[in-house]
Chains A and B, each alone.
Chain A
């Protein structure tokens, strides 16, 4: 499969006078047409920052300091600001976490959709209206015509997220970056939004990067999974393989931290310690201080190594046995 979007060795830092925090340290990932890539990690691992870096929307003092973001073979990091603007929303769209906050509270849905349309196309009011109605209809909003007149506060959370998705899909983008789009929603609504986005992306062949900390959500929607820890991708592979047989100790720790049925009364697993501060990372493997498998070798930084035909992992001591057992 050819990648629509290929992020290579992305570095981003927060630069303030006297202190530079390297928040992304060589993130590489790729996503193919119609593929859904789950990007997981705990808070502060850099997953959201990765999403915003791809779109060049990190707010200062954050800054992309190195690497490439190849969209159809073109590095978006080298584009002029105006070319970048023309790309946003048209080729790379975003959906945000909190639907209460993503829509402008004082503008009608119609205005917001029309602005998004007119950002990239010269179209009249009537045409914009027609397109907006069609887009709202597509994301399952009942009576889209009257909804256009509404203000965001008149819609429920799920409806707002549907509107945001409709806006993201307006220009049939190649890639959608969805930053925890279901986290703020009720569980039942979550399910609806998940299957909606999944269906729409499949139909159009849109590549989707789904950023989340919720493994249950990615398990249900993603094709592949990338796990981030302290500004680096530590494991990538097909979602089922990764969840069944994690190779990186951190991935396993994440999976085991999810409370499961049938374990009532037992003590929940947790990863000891906490993620190191980005300002003060250990030289070697950044997970080593919390890792039960760590050895002297872990004082050096492991590279991303192939692990089987479809996976790769950044670890000197990948959890072989279980993985091999799972591969059989």
Chain B
């Protein structure tokens, strides 16, 4: 296990390094941010001065090494527009996104698992067909469309839900949470549900497929033949087998949900990192974009590691760091 983790950390370093090259050069060849954020009174001399101040007049490779040197000391540079370290901006916004993503994950599992189990147990009933149709729709419809329709329906037409914003928050361990206030929850519901739809569809389909396979397995028949209660069979004997593929796929999916909550955050004006990224791209705030992308890569690496560990806990046949190919 330890050996496995060390190996993965080394791999992660390489991935991170390659990403810094790609991201840095990719972002730094587009446009000139100074022209965007410099005020209209700024003349050519002023522009040149600003460019020099930001170090943008130096060759790209030199800029890269400065960037890399800073990175090794834990600095990802200051945001052009906010003037404060990009990383602290990200961490300031991250709790909102994490809250949204985790709520979406909880919804996906909390709704998806029971629906999938139901559809797997009674595949030929009308309700099951409806569940499967729902999962198909949730998977295929574009997220932005669903978000807009939800705002139209529940906020504009019915007036039940606030259309945008985060609502009241409470501070828990230094992070703002809207989950714990009624108003915050009210604001959270629609974006979290919208964000959860794709994961929910995946959970439903995987659960149903797994159920169809597992409930006919001999070990389930054997469990029944031993008189074990149906509820216990479902909750332990079947569920543990079901969760293996779900954890694997959801683990991958979840990184994407955090990183690219962009669409949902934009639609619902949720003040998370996704919204921040869109704003940063709009004004070509290079350090912020680079910092965010590197942060995302880092998060993916960590998530994948967690999924592998969780996977080995769920499936005893998997040994981490073994010689399996």
Q: Which residues of A contact B (CB under 8 A)?
A: 55, 57, 59, 85-90, 93-94, 96-98, 101-108, 111-112, 115-116, 119-120, 151, 153, 164, 167-168, 170
Contact = CB atoms under 8 A, between A and B. Distances in A.
B219, B236, B240, B316, most chain A CB atoms within 10 A: B219
B228 interface: yes
Nearest to B315: A106
A98 B226 CA distance: 16
Interface in B258-284: none
Given A57-B224, A106-B240, A106-B315, A98 B218 contact: yes
B232 interface: yes
B225, B236, B316, most chain A CB atoms within 10 A: B225
B227 interface: yes
A104 B223 contact: yes
A111 B221 CA distance: 16
B237 interface: yes
Given A101-B219, A102-B222, A116 B228 contact: yes
Nearest to B241: A106
Interface in B229-251: 229-230, 232, 236-237, 240-241, 244
Given A101-B217, A115-B236, A106 B314 contact: yes
A88 B225 contact: yes
A136 to B, nearest CB: 15
B317 interface: yes
A164 B236 contact: no
Contacts of B244: 106
Contact of A105 (B221, B223, B236, B317): B317
Contacts of A103: 219, 222
Nearest to B232: A115
Contact of B227 (A90, A111, A112): A90
What does DSSP make chain B's interface, helix, strand, loop or mixed? helix
Nearest to A101: B218
Nearest to A91: B227
A104 B219 contact: yes
A115 B216 CA distance: 19
Contacts of A85: 227, 229-230
Nearest to A100: B218
19 contacts: A59-B216, A87-B227, A88-B227, A89-B226, A93-B226, A102-B219, A103-B219, A104-B220, A104-B223, A106-B240, A106-B244, A106-B314, A106-B316, A111-B236, A116-B223, A120-B227, A151-B316, A151-B317, A167-B226
Contacts of A59: 216, 221
A167 B221 CA distance: 14
A98 B221 CA distance: 12
Contacts of A116: 223, 226-228
Contacts of B236: 107, 111, 115
Contacts of A96: 218, 221-222, 225
Given A59-B221, A88-B226, A104-B223, 12 more contacts: A87-B227, A88-B224, A102-B218, A103-B222, A104-B220, A105-B219, A105-B316, A107-B236, A111-B236, A119-B227, A151-B316, A168-B226
A156 to B, nearest CB: 15
Nearest first, the 5 closest Cβ-Cβ pairs linking A and B are A89-B227, A89-B226, A101-B218, A88-B227, A94-B225
A79 to B, nearest CB: 12
A103 B222 CA distance: 8
B228 A89 contact: yes
Contacts of A168: 226
Contacts of B229: 85, 119
A57 to B, nearest CB: 6
B316 to A, nearest CB: 4
Nearest to A98: B218
Nearest to B238: A104
A162 to B, nearest CB: 14
A87, A105, A151, most chain B CB atoms within 10 A: A105
A94 B222 CA distance: 7
B216 A104 contact: no
Nearest to B221: A57
A53 to B, nearest CB: 13
Given A105-B317, A106-B316, A115 B222 contact: no
A215 to B, nearest CB: 25
Contacts of A90: 227
Contacts of B317: 105, 151, 153
Contacts of A111: 236
A237 to B, nearest CB: 29
